[in-house]
Amino acid sequence: MTFDSVVFWLFLPLAWIAWRGLPFGMARTALVILSLVFYAWWNPAYVLLILASAAIDYRIGAALAATDDARRRKRLVTLSVVLNLGLLGVFKYTPMIARTAGALGGFAPDPDFLESWIVPVGISFFTFQTLSYSIDLYRRRVDPAQSFRDFLLYVAFFPQLVAGPIVRARTFLPQLEHRAPLSALRIRYGAYRCIEGLFLKIVVADGLAPAVSQGFDQTAAALSPVGAWYSAVLFGGQIFADFAGYTGIAIGVACLLGLRFPENFRAPYLSTSLSEFWSRWHISLSTWLRDYLYVPLGGNRKGRIRTYVNLMLVMLLGGLWHGASWSFVIWGGLHGGALALVRAVSSWRKRPLPGWARVFAGVAVFGFVQVTWVFFRAQDLETARAIAHAMLVDPFKVLAGGDMSVGTRSPSWRFAVLLVPIAVMHLAQWLHERFSIPRSELLRAIAAGLMLFAITVFRRSEVYQFIYFQF
């Protein structure tokens, strides 16, 4: 059951009626049941995993709330970290560990075992949510859940269960204390976010998918420099539209129910520094890594070298969080190394960059992000190496008189039109931030109508899974 399926939009009114129509206690119970049904649509057996994960941290949380003994509290939060990361390690990283051990030990793991291994949908997201609850209780930054039912609803709430945003207990649990009133303005806003999210997914992301597949999976070795850059930029557009579309729908659905989720994207491709990019891209993950990993490691408080090491370690683990593949580790390492390098260079410069330099910096950040997306998307390291080589090394051959075309086997230029809506969204965000231009209700209504029309006309028969479902 995915957000772009008919069955979900038949399921949603049932959830809305249960949440808004039943007495509040029954409504919370009903929403828990419906959320578990939503998850069971993929694999009913893994509902037990969510229940176990929630039960572990609920019991640990109750024990943390009941004691002031510092040593016992430290043992409890350590137990939560070990159990949560243990579950994540076993269910998500077993195939990667087996392949790596086989490569180092000179043996081949059973291919049937590797192929049959199914990673539970959304395990990276709900594991981080349960873990953050225990850590926040240890830090005394959140009150314990009033009941296991409320805590399970926090963990399993269906809009954000499988692909975020990663929600903090201290912002979600208070919303379960009473049912918030639902205004016409919130309904309109929630509906708009759902329509916008569906447009990004169905029209933009799914529209770009065949071109991205052609560039990365079919003709990677034959790409010219221009074709390689074009394919990478198309994937940059696809992953933004796919993930921002999903989280936009999640925010919209929560809004329709009268609940609030944090924003997860703020025009990331407008960033003029890599640190700014990570403050605008997958915000719920980047702030989670900051609060629960970077700061506890010492952040930037223990000297320059330690800061650079912390940045690298956090981004390596952030890459590994995304997937059980060394390609993701390399992707994270590239970002970590670049963040450390930028931090080192910026320590020499005290004055802000002038306008022309900010434009150049924005282009450089955009280009760097597109290069790193190659390792995120490529099916293996050899393909990633070939595309990155075409992007970074082959252009010098072009300057010497080589091929400047996109390449006869590269994606068609017509797919570039699908990047226009992303550019418009970024422009609207920039105008809002730079000039405080309010968002017009009339313009939103017109945009919603146009997007609904586009969804109807351009919906493809082939269904593409949301990219972040695999994480």
For CA atoms 68, 69, 75, 78, give the dihedral sign.
positive
Question: Are 126 and 169 in contact, with CB atoms under 8 Å apart?
Answer: no
Q: Which of 280, 283, 284 is nearest to 425 (CA)?
A: 280
Measured in degrees and rounded to the nearest 5, phi and psi for residue 69 equal -70, 115
Measured in degrees and rounded to the nearest 5, phi and psi for residue 317 equal -70, -35
Q: Which residues are CB-contacts of 285 (< 8 A; sequence separation ≥ 6)?
A: 128, 164, 166, 318, 321
HEC assignment per residue over the chain:
CCCCCHHHHHHHHHHHHHHHHCCHHHHHHHHHHHHHHHHHCCCHHHHHHHHHHHHHHHHHHHHHHHCCCHHHHHHHHHHHHHHHHHHHHHHHHHHHHHHHHHHHHCCCCCHHHHHHCCCCCCHHHHHHHHHHHHHHHHCCCCCCCCCHHHHHHHHHCCCCCCCCCCCCHHHHHHHHCCCCCCCHHHHHHHHHHHHHHHHHHHHHHHHHHHHHHHHHHHCHHHCCHHHHHHHHHHHHHHHHHHHHHHHHHHHHHHHHHCCCCCCCCCCHHHCCCHHHHHHHCCHHHHHHHHHHHHCCCCCCCCCHHHHHHHHHHHHHHHHHHHCCCHHHHHHHHHHHHHHHHHHHHHCCCCCCCCHHHHHHHHHHHHHHHHHHHHHHHCCCHHHHHHHHHHHHCHHHHHHCCCCCCCCCCCCCHHHHHHHHHHHHHHHHHHHHHHHCCCCCHHHHHHHHHHHHHHHHHHCCCCCCCCHHHHC
Query: Which one of the listed residues 282, 322, 335, 426 is annotated catalytic?
Result: 322
* Residue 426 falls in the annotated catalytic set: no
CA-to-CA distance for 458 and 404, rounded, in angstroms?
32
Q: Which of 207, 239, 235, 244 is nearest to 3 (CA)?
A: 244
Active site residues: 322
